Chains A and B, each alone.
Chain A
Amino acid sequence: MAIEYKKSLAVFDDFVGVEDAEALLEWFQKNPKGKVNFTTCTHIHASNLQVLMAVKPPVVAWSKDEDLQLWLEPLLR
């Protein structure tokens, strides 16, 4: 499982594939105040990126992958 959902936190791990976007969107619909954690995430498929950009959830922790953080930070901050 590339995204682990905990109460109001979605933890992104490793590589998050295209199919995960559907569940992610549903989760945000149920948890409008859901937060995200990217610490161990290395890549998210574009499908997830557009969900995140539409929702703009609070980010608890940025990715340790510097390049990913460079991309995500200006978009989700």
Chain B
Amino acid sequence: MNWVIENLPLIGQRTLEHLALSIPPIVLSFVLSVPLGWVANRYRLSRGVLLTVLGLLYAIPSLPLLIVLPIILGTGARDSINVVVALTLYGIALMVRTTSDALGSVSSDISQSATAMGFSPWTRFWKVDLPLAGPVLLAGIRVVAVSTVSLVTVGAVLGIKSLGLLFTDGLQRNIVAEVLAGMVATIALALLIDAALVLLGRLLMPWARATRTSSTRRSRLTAEAAAS
């Protein structure tokens, strides 16, 4: 416990570094998955090809990917860009399938009604399909966010700065408190980002919570109508 109190500034700094490596992959994988997921959902052929390629990408273990990426990107072996790219790839691998499924689950009755109301395909996508897919997308990006935060630590064995350095340093110097502090901070950060996403979801999709009440009210109304 003493170690934690004496090294609070260090933990704070590592947390900030960790955050700086976690946020870009989460945002990037969401932004890139929407068009890719649309393509995957729209065309049967592209769905099979895309999902297979992404599935294989996801199968590549993180440490080897961090080592192989520099020769593809031309970056330095210990460059933090490698972590951002690797985690974005994992994020996309998870999110494209979710996005494709979410868009596919929008009822065709609704899509057709929107078309009949005069929505162009472009506005229909943004105003009807995407909002309706929202709750599933939120569930997907929450999974991506939590696993991204925990995977950032792997870069520490290559010397990339994050909370993971507390693990490697703790092992070398045999300080259990340091490793534990790193774990607690990583998990807390993951939960914090997760909570932020839930909050964001509530702000952006107020209807997602209202659905339940309206459906119970509807059932109550039908029950009253049946009784009278």
A is bound by B: no
Interface residues of B (CB under 8 A from A): none
